[in-house]
Structure 1
Amino acid sequence: MSPSQLGRTDPLGNGDASISRLQPENGFVDSLSLFHSEKAVQEILQQTPVHRTDDHLIEFSEALRTVAKALRRSAEAKASAQAEAAEWKRRYELERERNLQLKNKGF
């Protein structure tokens, strides 16, 4: 990019020099500028650590699976504890009823 292009703004006065760099003074897109722009985008994409991003996504996915397993185990343990509590409550109610019947027969 030439020094004269650094301070230019777009025709609307938005201050976006990246748009005006693609358009010369006559308003048509300069094919050489477009080529350089596409080449710059390709260079940026090549520099982007896509593989590292994929590694992070894989690591995140594995972490989510681990959390899902822990939540599943927790839910199973809760269901088991609730079933056991329901059984103890049933036994307590039966024993209480039996004690009331014995108490009523005693009088």
Structure 2
Amino acid sequence: MAMRASLLRLASPLTLGRAALYAPRFLRVFLGLMADRRVPAAAKLIPLLVAAYFLFPLDVDWLPVLGWMDDIIVVLIGGRAFVRFCPADVVSEHVAAASGRSWGG
């Protein structure tokens, strides 16, 4: 029940609208991290695995709720794992650059 409430909050128009506003910044951070040589190859493998999931021909759309949410869940978990495997100082540097702030490293 708590997970359903969390998912409903995540899918609220306010949250989705805010996510849409930050999407270009998230994309700049993601692309910057993927291009950065300081990010381990194992971390860069995670987004590739997420992309492979979308290319896989089997889907669980026949399952109620999970079938509709599985793609979102995979992207969120994959994105979080990618950032966790990246060095924290490198992530901070790319977030600051995407935000237009100078990084004081």
TM range (shorter): under 0.3
| Larger RCO, structure (CA 8 Å, separation 6 or more) | 2
Question: Computing the radius of gyration over CA atoms, which structure comes out larger, 1 or 2?
Answer: 1
Give TM-score scaled by structure 2 length: 0.22
Give TM-score scaled by structure 1 length: 0.22
